[in-house]
Structure 1
Amino acid sequence: MKRQDIQKLRGEDLFYYFTHDHPDEEYRSIVALLPYALMDIEKAYNLLERYVNENKTLIAIYPGIKNVDTSGMEYIGNIMDGGLYASDEPYFNE
């Protein structure tokens, strides 16, 4: 699905696409962490819409597994054994 098509999806439909229909299984599992990091499903829907519009990438960081510089990333919240971040690195290559 192209970015333009994904931008037409909203809320639960957008979340469903990213957690069930998206071709990248690893990214599906990362997006599924969003409600846990925010502790609110509606906030997760809204934030996911914003990140799609801003072409940001969600990244799960687990200490000790891979050293990643998070200084330029937006911290979203805690996830089990780590943290969820949004990177300015474009998700969609246009």
Structure 2
Amino acid sequence: MAAKVEIYTWATCPFCIRAKTLLKNKGVDFIEYGIDGDEIARSQMQERANGRRSLPQIFINDEHIGGCDDIHALDRQGKLDNLLAVESAN
């Protein structure tokens, strides 16, 4: 079983689109939370993301990965595939 991937997004956010494209190109299924204009959902995301309010915010197996630049950096470093292959302990 693959890792649980969650991503908080806005529909027109170019960074969100870029992060989702990376995941799709890797064949990763993910749960997307579209929070366009929803301040309650954004506050919940902010709480999970250690105070970060920028989008996207990405979680793998409930671990906060960060945003678009962070997930692309993990990919360039060769670390993303290992994170995506690890099953959730939950």
Q: TM-score, normalised by structure 1?
A: 0.28
Q: TM-score, normalised by structure 2?
A: 0.28
